[in-house]
Amino acid sequence: MNHYIRCLLLLSFVLDTSTYGPNTRAQKTGDIILGGLFPIHFGVHSKDEILESRPESLECNRYNFRGFRWLQAMIFAIEEINNSTSLLPNITLGYRIFDTCNTVSKALEATLSFVAQNKIDSLNLDDFCNCSEHMPSTIAVVGATGSGISTAVANLLGLFHIPQVSYASSSRLLSNKNQYKSFLRTMPNDEHQATAIADIIEYFQWNWVGTIAADDDYGRPGIEKFREEAEERDICIDFSELISQYSPIEEIEKLVNIIQNSTAKVIVVFSSGPDLEPLIKEIVRRNVTGRIWLASEAWASSSLIAIPEYFHVIGGTIGFALRAGQIPGFREFLQKVHPKMSNSNGFLKEFWEETFNCYMPVGSKKNVDNSNITACTGKENITSVETPYLDFTHLRISYNVYLAVYSIAHALQEIYTCTPGKGLFANGSCADIKKVEAWQVLKHLRHLNFTNNIGEQVDFNDFGDLVGNYTIINWHLTKEDDSDEVVFEDIGHYNVYAKKGERLFINESKILWSGFSREVGAAGHK
């Protein structure tokens, strides 16, 4: 009877979590379930809670087309694996994917759902209650995006040894395995990026800069590492400020005053696009020009910042980008998207509405009262519109998502093909693929070594990181179909494997300073 009561309590917890937490998800059953965390929106509506009634989950706003593409990369990888005859044959992968809305609170709501389900399964309550209809446990989670969000998620998943493979979180703090035991990632940490930015400043013989960082676990440690590197190179820092997408306008205005009055014309920014956007908007409003912006990877190709309307102040930005990969068949998969597929992907209807500026007759979240928005027909052509969703110039984060899913699949394959006596567990024993648990998958991920689809070895180091190289990009403005468009021109690369002093290569002839000039001048000197 105690087990029965515990089952009811835990089931009610799961139901309550799904009610209070994310109620839109992509979900498909399978023998083994992977979780996913993606920023389908850029943020949430701010709301003062006066607690006169039960608090409600915050509503997400500002649709993120690239975030939806990253989610689609996870689904594509899972479907590709399920159709493979060599990788996990006779095993079907399923998924439960939630929207983090680029905020810690929403990400934790989703993570609680993963954890609660796993706790139910660990109690083996089928003999005491009808628990057979629920989804199997989540054995690994792909995500999240921002380092601050991944840090919060990692603290929770780590308690239950559920492996987390991030595709975009680069904070060096997450390499601390004493604190983040189950965290891994398919990208390098910021240790190398901060050094690379300092190397660029030294390369151009600049010695007078300002720094700006997001006030989170991505921005603070990133800029701290840069300051250490700057001090070694006698690079002086005039100002060092923190920002957030939720900063009051008074703080934003104060920071713009500092930038305007500073003699430092080179500005290093460790931030995400959403956190930087309010500052850039105010800089554009005041028309503060003549600065050289050095961008960390998290905003170096941000669709929020890299727009023609901002180019006169932010053009010519030099930034770091992850190495691009190839996903054969992915373009065709993205083009097949349609709202009729929404039974397994609850995000599709909103995607369709945002893409074609229409509303779905059933289940729409749009407020169509007193508006000219027409109903969606379902016959709209996805290839007829300009959308970041179909931007195939470079697949960086999308490829990292793809690689994260395949990393988990190869860990499961090792379990599937394990020979008793040669396994990773006590006395060389193997895990049972039919009853595999999250901690067993984590063990295999830590020892993983396989070759990816572009012929590179995938091998997580002792810190759970993949060591990789960076492409250096420069923001240019080009004409595309009679309209301006910001493009990212490759101007060099940074090889973390090379000897010190030989890691950086820059093709100066390809750089457009401030987006227009071939002459850099003395911007970084005092």
- The tens place of each residue's pLDDT in the chain, 526 residues long, gives 455 445 444 544 444 444 433 447 899 999 999 999 999 999 887 766 667 777 777 789 899 999 999 999 999 999 999 999 999 999 999 999 999 999 999 999 999 989 987 666 555 545 445 554 556 789 999 999 999 999 999 999 999 999 999 999 999 999 999 999 999 999 888 888 999 999 999 999 999 999 999 999 999 999 999 999 999 999 999 999 999 998 999 999 999 999 999 999 999 999 999 999 999 999 999 999 999 999 999 999 998 999 999 999 999 999 999 888 899 999 999 999 998 888 889 899 999 999 999 998 887 777 766 578 889 999 999 999 988 899 877 889 999 999 999 999 999 999 999 999 999 999 999 999 999 999 999 999 999 988 888 788 888 988 999 888 899 999 999 877 667 889 999 999 998 888 888 999 999 999 999 877 777 654 555 5
Cα separation of 114 and 454, whole Å? 32
Cα separation of 188 and 18, whole Å? 34
pLDDT at residue 523, rounded to an integer: 57
Q: DSSP code of 297?
A: T
Cα separation of 39 and 145, whole Å? 7
Q: In what order do the strands lie in the sheet with 93-99?
A: 25-28, 93-99, 32-38, 138-142, 164-166, 183-185
CB 79 within 8 A of CB 123: no
User: Is the preceding peptide bond at 198 cis, omega within 30 degrees of 0?
Assistant: no
Task: Using DSSP, state whether 221 is helix, strand or coil.
Answer: helix
pTM: 0.88
Which two structure tokens, joined as six digits, stand for 8? 């009811």
Four-residue CA torsion sign, 455, 459, 461, 463: positive
CA distances from 312 to 179, 298, 316, 478 (A): 43, 21, 9, 13
pLDDT at residue 521, rounded to an integer: 55
Helix axes 438-446, 397-416, angle to 10 degrees: 110
pLDDT at residue 9, rounded to an integer: 47
124: left (phi over 0), alpha (psi -120 to 50) or beta: left
pLDDT at residue 143, rounded to an integer: 92
pLDDT at residue 525, rounded to an integer: 57
Q: What is the CA radius of gyration of the chain?
A: 24
Which two structure tokens, joined as six digits, stand for 443? 């063990």
Cα separation of 220 and 469, whole Å? 22
CA dihedral 139, 142, 148, 152 (to 10 degrees): -10
pLDDT at residue 22, rounded to an integer: 43
pLDDT at residue 136, rounded to an integer: 79
Cα separation of 526 and 521, whole Å? 12
Closest to 250 (Cα-Cα) out of 274, 223, 218, 282: 282
CB 396 within 8 A of CB 323: yes
pLDDT at residue 121, rounded to an integer: 57
Four-residue CA torsion sign, 124, 130, 132, 135: negative
